[in-house]
Amino acid sequence: MNRAQERGLVLLGAALLLLGVTFGGSAAVSTTAEVRSDNASETLVGIQGGGVGLHEDGRVAMFDESGTRTWAIQNADSYFDVTQQDDGTILAGFMHSGYENCGPYDAPCSRTGFRVLDPDADDPVVFEYTYPVRTKKNSETHDVEKLPNGRYLVSGMDEERIFVVDANGTVTWQWNAADYYESPPDPTKTDWLHLNDVDRIGDGRYLVSIRNANQLVVVERGEGVVEVINEDDDATEESECTMGGRLNDANGDGDVNCGDPDVMDEQHNPQWLSEDAVLVADSGNDRVVELHRNATTGEWEVAWAISEANGVEFAWPRDADRLPNGNTLITDSANARVVEVTQDGETVWSASMANNHFPYEAERLPDGETVGGPVYENGTVQTETTDRVPGLTPALAMLRTSMPLPVWLSELHLGVGLVSLGLSVAGIRSLLLGRGP
């Protein structure tokens, strides 16, 4: 054996040793645990799915008080927001592929929108409103709700807008995010803002989640944006929002409307608790936060935060609802579970998703997500967000939002895996060179 071959074996051995030491004890972590249940109600869950892009086997499922699934509808690539209506049907945002009616795009294509589902019917789709999209990733309808006048309020990520549509499919009103944010020439060609949620919080007044700006905005009809939660300030590094071709600096002044990621980062599904309190799934920081308006400064600040349940840290949580009993229902997406926790962090209910598929949103019945809810006046404050590792943290977040990953996988594992890959490639190369011609 020559020196090149010896070097190759050493490099391969180092790679295997690194992998063994780093990954050896990690797989023992579990997201399941026995918990007591104080709820005698059902929990409705919209499941985005699994596979690459999380667009396989989307489902709407119901879980009982013990966390056991009692039924599921599986007839779309992905489901998102779900709401049980007064007649027992389910209103659900969804995306599906294989359509032939594709408008400006080539067939077959994907379409997104919402469905009304009857879980007791042989064909559960009672009503469907859809429109074609250029790509099924980062173009989906994540949120929909029925308004008091019978029309539907929809978040449209494809063109970065919120709009109202009637039962005939006619759009009767819309607000375009380009009216407030600097827009690219064609929003459908890039994941620009990732507008992912809209809630009616008053007459003609809507709370909108702009994920890629780390901001919530309140939009009023006839006025546009009247309030911003987590406003841009000079201290925020703009690259937090522009990396990956996201927020667009159209006028070239080097400034974009980017909120502080330490307050919330790539958030989902906010709940308006009061004029001075909002509950947010702070996805990029792997936690749930309750933000309060500072009475003196008017700034929104973290008043309560939670980052784990059952001893397992949250991974990309995407929904949090404050329940009438004062607890919080959390959809912990990348851990494929839904949990109910008390203000002190005790887990009192949990349910795990089949095949580790990502849940998107959960509703505790019969109330669902309400406008207004119990406010934690003296919550436990977690002042520090998740430590960030340049390069690895955004890479891991991108992987988690693209495919199911083990709950224990961290930046350390990703970094060690990349180093081990490099050592393995170098080792194999040395072995091949040592063999000679």
pLDDT in tens, 170-212: 999 999 999 999 999 999 999 999 999 999 999 999 999 999 9
In a domain, 36, yes or no: no
Position 34 in a domain? no
> 303 and 267 in one domain?
yes
Distances (CA, A) of 392 to 3, 15, 399, 418: 34, 19, 10, 10
Rounded Cα–Cα distance for residues 288 and 121 (Å): 36
Judgement on whether residues 290 and 416 belong to the same structural domain of the protein: no
Instruction: Say yes or no to pLDDT of 29 above 50.
Output: no
Q: Is residue 176 part of a domain?
A: yes
Same domain, 351 and 412: no
The answer to whether residue 47 sits within a structural domain is: yes
Which residues face 228 on adjacent strands? 217
Residue 35 lies in a domain: no
- Please give the single-letter amino acid code of residue 37: S
Residue 406 vs residue 347, higher pLDDT? 347
Residue 398's pLDDT band (boundaries 50, 70, 90)? low
Instruction: Compute CA distances 25 → 21, 30, 428, whole Å.
Output: 8, 12, 27
pLDDT in tens, 39-49: 568 999 999 99
Q: What is the mean pLDDT of residues 224-243?
A: 86
In angstroms, the CA 295 to CA 313 distance is: 32
Helices (H), 102-187: none
From CA 265, how far away is CA 282, in angstroms rounded? 6
Query: Does residue 137 sit in the same domain as residue 248?
Result: yes
Work out whether the CA dihedral 155, 368, 225, 292 comes out positive or negative.
negative
Write down the residue that tokens 């009692």 correspond to.
70
Which of 260-274, 389-403, 405-419 is predicted least confidently? Answer: 389-403
Its domain, for residue 22, covers 1-29+408-437
Quote the mean pLDDT of the chain. Answer: 88
Whether 355 and 429 map to the same domain: the answer is no
120 falls within a domain: yes
Query: Which of 373, 175, 182 is CA-nearest to residue 272?
Result: 373
Check whether residue 25 and residue 82 sit in a common domain: no
More confident position, 174 or 243: 174
186 plus 132 within the same structural domain: yes
- Closest CA relative to residue 143, chosen from 344, 361, 310: 361
Angstrom CA distances, 35 to 310, 344, 362, stand at: 9, 15, 18
Examine the domain organization and report whether 145 and 294 are in the same domain: yes
Q: Look at residue 82 and tell me if it is in a domain.
A: yes
Same domain, 311 and 394: yes
Given this model, what pLDDT does residue 24 score? 60
Q: Is the pLDDT of residue 378 over 70?
A: no
Cα separation, 261 vs 308, whole angstroms:
19
Whichever domain contains 179, its CATH number is 2.120.10.30
Length reported for the chain: 437
Give yes or no: residues 15 and 49 share one domain: no
Residue 167 · residue 161 · CB < 8 Å: no
Q: Are residues 2 and 94 in the same domain?
A: no
Q: 287 and 266, same structural domain?
A: yes
**Does 163 fall in a domain?**
yes
Domains identified in the chain, total number? 2
3-state secondary structure of 167: coil
